[in-house]
């Protein structure tokens, strides 16, 4: 089913060791009505499933991340992925 266009965000930033790591993913549907819109997007990051994986990813600087942005946009298959809430991003845009 077509749900309309979306904006998908992937936010990256440096960790303690200076490596670029994912800070959050989020998606929001773009409204069909013209005008100025402000949307708040809940951000999340995937988490390792075990303590060993968490330590290994912290130690190596390679944290879990999605390779396909469709996972964020569709949400299909995400119910088996462990994620952690990571704040919010507010965006404003104009629709013509």
Alpha-carbon Rg for the chain, nearest whole angstrom, is: 16
Which DSSP letter does residue 30 get? P
Give how far Cα 43 sits from Cα of 10, 34, 75, 76, 91, Å: 9, 25, 13, 17, 12
Could you read off the pLDDT of 34-81 as tens digits, one per residue? 999 999 999 988 877 778 777 777 676 667 777 777 777 776 655 667
Contact predicate 88/23, CB 8 Å: no
- In the chain, alpha helices (H): 51-60, 70-74
Rounded mean pLDDT of 21-43? Answer: 90
Residue ranges per domain, the chain?
A: 6-59+82-95
Whole-prediction pTM value? 0.75
């Amino acid at each position: 089913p077509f749900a309309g266009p979306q904006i998908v965000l992937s936010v990256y930033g440096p960790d303690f060791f200076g490596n670029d790591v994912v800070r959050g993913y989020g998606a929001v549907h773009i409204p069909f009505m013209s005008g100025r819109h402000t949307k708040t997007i809940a951000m999340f990051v995937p988490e390792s499933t075990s303590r060993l994986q968490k330590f290994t990813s912290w130690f190596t600087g390679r944290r879990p991340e999605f390779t396909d942005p469709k996972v964020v946009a569709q949400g299909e298959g995400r119910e088996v992925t462990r994620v952690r809430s990571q704040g919010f991003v507010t965006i404003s845009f104009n629709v013509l």
